[in-house]
Amino acid sequence: GENVEQHPSTLSVQEGDSAVIKCTYSDSASNYFPWYKQELGKGPQLIIDIRSNVGEKKDQRIAVTLNKTAKHFSLHITETQPEDSAVYFCAASTNDMRFGAGTRLTVKP
């Protein structure tokens, strides 16, 4: 089955800096790669996603890149703000969704 690895597990940045989180996946059949933000005690919220026929997607301060050949994808957050502090999960999907281990992002004011 699909195995998703995510790094780093924790990330601390200064407000205004960029944050990058990287994931790799094992199943070449995976064709959908969402990123979720989870705040304490809540369910995950989709923040951006990318499909396997696209290499890059951007939405304001958030961007995701996908390298199908290498089976890795990354989340980039620019101009970070304290409210970006949360746990971020990558996932890879075919018929079901498998999550990475999560990255706890802390943005220091």
Partner 1 sequence: GAVVSQHPSRVICKSGTSVKIECRSLDFQATTMFWYRQFPKKSLMLMATSNEGSKATYEQGVEKDKFLINHASLTLSTLTVTSAHPEDSSFYICSARDPAQGQHGYTFGSGTRLTVV
How many Cα neighbours within 13 Å face the side chain of 101? 8
CA distances from 8 to 19, 24, 76 (A): 11, 12, 13
Stretch that binds partner 1, among 19-27, 56-64, 72-80, 92-100 (CB under 8 A): 92-100
Decide: is 45 part of the binding site for partner 1 (CB under 8 A).
Answer: yes
Decide: is 43 part of the binding site for partner 1 (CB under 8 A).
Answer: yes
Record the tokens describing residue 37, joined without a space: 């933000």
Q: Which residue has the tokens 């958030």?
A: 62
Pick from 51, 58, 61, 108 the residue near partner 1 by CB under 8 A. Answer: 51
Decide: is 41 part of the binding site for partner 1 (CB under 8 A).
Answer: yes
Decide: is 89 part of the binding site for partner 1 (CB under 8 A).
Answer: yes
Decide: is 32 part of the binding site for partner 1 (CB under 8 A).
Answer: yes
3-state secondary structure of 101: coil
Around Cβ 90, how many Cβ atoms within 10 Å?
28
Decide: is 93 part of the binding site for partner 1 (CB under 8 A).
Answer: yes
Q: Which residues of this protein are in contact with partner 1, per CB under 8 A? A: 32, 34, 36, 41-46, 49, 51, 89, 93, 95-102, 104
